[in-house]
Amino acid sequence: MKRGILAASVLALALAGCGGTAEPAAEAAAQAVAGERLTLAVADMPEVRRVSGEVRARDEVMVPARIGGTLARLDVTAGDRVRAGQRLALVRDARLGFETGAADAQLAAAEARAAQAAAALARIEDLYANKVYSKARLEAAQAEARAAAAGAEAARAGARARADVEGQGAVLAPGDGRVLRADVPVGAVVMPGQPVVRVTAGPLVVRLQLPEALAGALTPGAEVTLDDGRVGELVQVYPGVSGGQVMADARVEGLDDSFIGRRLTVTLTTGTRRALMVPQRFVVTRFGNDFVTLVADEGARDVPVQLGAAQGDMVEILSGVRAGDVVVRR
Whether residue 129 is contained in a domain is answered as: yes
Report whether pLDDT(114) > 90: no
Q: Give CB contacts under 8 A, 24+ apart, made by 214-217.
A: 214/49, 214/246, 214/270, 215/241, 215/246, 217/47, 217/270, 217/271
| pLDDT for res 30 | 43
**Number of domains present in the structure of the chain:** 1
Whether residue 146 is contained in a domain is answered as: yes
State mean pLDDT over 201-212: 85
Tell me what percent of the residues of the chain surpass a pLDDT of 90. 18
Identity of residue 289: N
| pLDDT for res 139 | 86
Which residues have C-beta within 8 Å of that of residue 149, sequence separation ≥ 6? 114, 117, 118
Instruction: Report the DSSP beta bridge partners of residue 223.
Output: 233
Closest to 327 in 3D by CA, of 289, 279, 275, 286: 279
pLDDT band at residue 290 using 50, 70 and 90 as cut-offs: very high
Contact 199, 89 (CB under 8 A): no
Give the residue ranges of DSSP H helices in the chain. 2-32, 94-129, 135-167
Gyration radius from the chain CA atoms: 45
Domain that holds residue 103: 94-167
Whether residue 23 is contained in a domain is answered as: no
Whether residue 302 is contained in a domain is answered as: no
Report whether pLDDT(74) > 90: yes
**What is the C-alpha to C-alpha distance for residues 266 and 54, in angstroms, rounded to an integer?**
9
Average pLDDT of the residues of the chain: 81
Whether residue 77 is contained in a domain is answered as: no
The larger pLDDT score, comparing residue 314 to residue 269, is at 314
pLDDT band at residue 164 using 50, 70 and 90 as cut-offs: low
Instruction: Report the DSSP beta bridge partners of residue 91.
Output: 71
* Minimum mean pLDDT range among 183-197, 201-215, 316-330: 201-215
Instruction: Report the DSSP beta bridge partners of residue 287.
Output: none
**What is the C-alpha to C-alpha distance for residues 170 and 74, in angstroms, rounded to an integer?**
10
The larger pLDDT score, comparing residue 97 to residue 18, is at 97
What pTM value is reported for the model?
0.52
* Minimum mean pLDDT range among 11-20, 49-58, 247-256, 284-293: 11-20
Whether residue 123 is contained in a domain is answered as: yes
Whether residue 110 is contained in a domain is answered as: yes
Which residues have C-beta within 8 Å of that of residue 29, sequence separation ≥ 6? 299
For 1-59, write each residue's pLDDT tens digit: 444 443 434 333 343 444 444 445 444 454 456 788 999 999 888 777 888 888 888 88
Whether residue 26 is contained in a domain is answered as: no
Strand runs labelled E in 81-141: 81-82, 87-92
CATH classification at residue 114: 1.10.287
